[in-house]
Amino acid sequence: MESPDAFWESLEDSHQACRGVWRLRHRSEDWLQSLLALLFPQFWRDEYGPCRDLKAKAALLADELNELLEAAGVDPGPASKAFWAEIPEIHRRLIADAEALERHDPAAESVEEVLLAYPGFLAVAVHRIAHRLYESETPLLPRLLAEWAHRQTGIDIHPGARIASPFVIDHGTGVVIGETTVIGPGVKLYQSVTLGALSVRKDLAETKRHPTLEAGVVVYAGATILGGRTVIGEGSVIGGGAWLTRSVPPRSLVTRSDQILPLKSEEDAHEFLAYGENI
């Protein structure tokens, strides 16, 4: 049995070998919140000073990102350049997401309310930032950003998931979206939806393990959709509590009993879409 002295010596060695990676968590969270404030005044704080000279503030955040990338063991040059080049497009997509959520939810009185108060928007905003870093093959940092959003909102989106815009998560608590999920434009998810894998075997890590949702799909609360070969066809509606491990043709209605019915007309679809309209 290891002596107490040997244990503490071994523990100290592991701390010394950590290379300061522990700093990534808190510094990345601070950087993320500052970036959100830069993109949307609704996230601004008094501690950030006057809400002006945004280009200069962006330059400071760029320097901080370079330091975070270096701490993660990445050459900051290419990754940072690619990230900042995409910021206008990320902002455009997030505005589209917020506008879609406001249109979709009769309880939302304005886009500003969505930006200030909706956890679904916050989770998607962080995802779009984290996903861009993930695409640059940045280790650890995208996951830290995603897990901050997970703690804040109860919505778990892996930074590898490919999500088109607009995209709406309503309510959101308990939503899980796996790493290789692909989501088309105009998709809506409700609380406790799982887009997961059929198998968690480690040797399948490099394969597509999570489902594809085509444009205009609506997935109601508590539905579970599993598997990399599972494709939910365009315009389909997945009922609450449904369990799916197989593909669904376009414009289908899936009930909790796993029965798949065709939506024969626009009137059929209209009846099952959230609040009678799509986004």
**200 has pLDDT over 90:** no
Residues 183 and 258 in one domain: yes
**278 has pLDDT over 60:** no
pLDDT per residue over 152-164, tens digit each?
Answer: 999 999 999 999 9
Q: What is the number of alpha carbons within 13 Å of residue 93 lying toward its C-beta?
A: 21
Q: Quick one: pLDDT band at residue 263, thresholds 50, 70, 90?
A: confident
Indicate the SS3 state at residue 224: strand
**270 has pLDDT over 80:** no
pLDDT per residue over 7-53, tens digit each?
Answer: 999 998 888 887 667 788 999 999 999 999 999 999 999 988 888 89
Residues 227-253 have a mean pLDDT of 96
- In a domain, residue 1? The reply is no
Residues 54 and 145 in one domain: yes
Residues 27 and 131 in one domain: yes
Residues 185 and 256 in one domain: yes
- In a domain, residue 162? The reply is no
The confidence score (pLDDT) of residue 23 equals 80
Q: Quick one: pLDDT band at residue 275, thresholds 50, 70, 90?
A: very low
- In a domain, residue 2? The reply is no
- In a domain, residue 220? The reply is yes
pLDDT per residue over 155-194, tens digit each?
Answer: 999 999 999 999 999 999 999 999 999 999 999 999 999 9
Distance (Å, whole) CA 221 – CA 218: 10
Calculate the average pLDDT of the chain.
Answer: 91
Residues 38 and 146 in one domain: yes
Residues 145 and 190 in one domain: no
Main-chain dihedrals φ then ψ at residue 164, nearest 5 degrees: -75, 175
Q: Are 251 and 235 in contact (CB under 8 A)?
A: yes
**266 has pLDDT over 90:** no
* Tally of domains within the chain: 2
- In a domain, residue 95? The reply is yes
Residues 227-243 have a mean pLDDT of 96
Indicate the SS3 state at residue 78: helix
Distance (Å, whole) CA 266 – CA 268: 5
pTM: 0.89
- In a domain, residue 85? The reply is yes
Residues 58 and 126 in one domain: yes
In the numeric block, the tokens 């309880």 are attached to: 107
CATH classification of the domain holding 224: 2.160.10.10
- In a domain, residue 248? The reply is yes
Q: What is the dihedral of CA 227, 165, 111, 126, to 10 degrees?
A: 60
- In a domain, residue 31? The reply is yes
pLDDT: is 261 or 254 the higher one?
Answer: 254
Residues 197 and 148 in one domain: no
Percent of the chain with pLDDT strictly greater than 70: 92
Residues 91-109 have a mean pLDDT of 96
Lowest mean pLDDT among 123-127, 152-156, 175-179, 241-245: 241-245
Residues 235 and 134 in one domain: no
Residues 232-252 have a mean pLDDT of 96
Domain limits for position 114 = 23-154
- Longest CA–CA span in the chain (Å) reads 74
Residues 214 and 150 in one domain: no
pLDDT per residue over 66-99, tens digit each?
Answer: 999 988 888 898 999 999 999 999 999 999 999 9
Residues 146 and 183 in one domain: no
Percent of the chain with pLDDT strictly greater than 90: 73
The confidence score (pLDDT) of residue 274 equals 46
Distance (Å, whole) CA 64 – CA 60: 6
**262 has pLDDT over 60:** yes
Residues 194 and 264 in one domain: yes
CATH classification of the domain holding 30: 1.10.3130.10
Residue 61 burial (CB count, 10 A): 17
